[in-house]
Amino acid sequence: MPDAKEVVENGQPEEKPKLKPCCACPETKKARDACIMENGEEKCGDLIEAHKQCMRDMGFNI
């Protein structure tokens, strides 16, 4: 059995995240955090969503 894969209920392998959530997507995380600090969370929805999508693309269940 490959060590980076896990079989899920439907029988398809699922990639496990290789990074910790704190270390994934540093570019989008930095932009999101800076926007929130300067403008408040309510004005940074696009950057928040971009970071969430990056995390999903990296294999995290966000």
pLDDT for the residue 4: 45
Cα–Cα dist 46/54, whole Å? 12
Structure tokens belonging to residue 38:
């300067």
pTM of the model: 0.70
Indicate the number of domains in the chain: 1
Residue 43 lies in a domain: yes
Interior angle at CA 59, CA 53 and CA 60, nearest 5: 70
51: CATH: 1.10.287.1130
Residue 23 lies in a domain: yes
- Residues 7-55 have pLDDT tens digits of 445 555 555 557 899 999 999 999 999 999 999 999 999 999 999 999 9
Residue 9 lies in a domain: no
pLDDT for the residue 19: 82
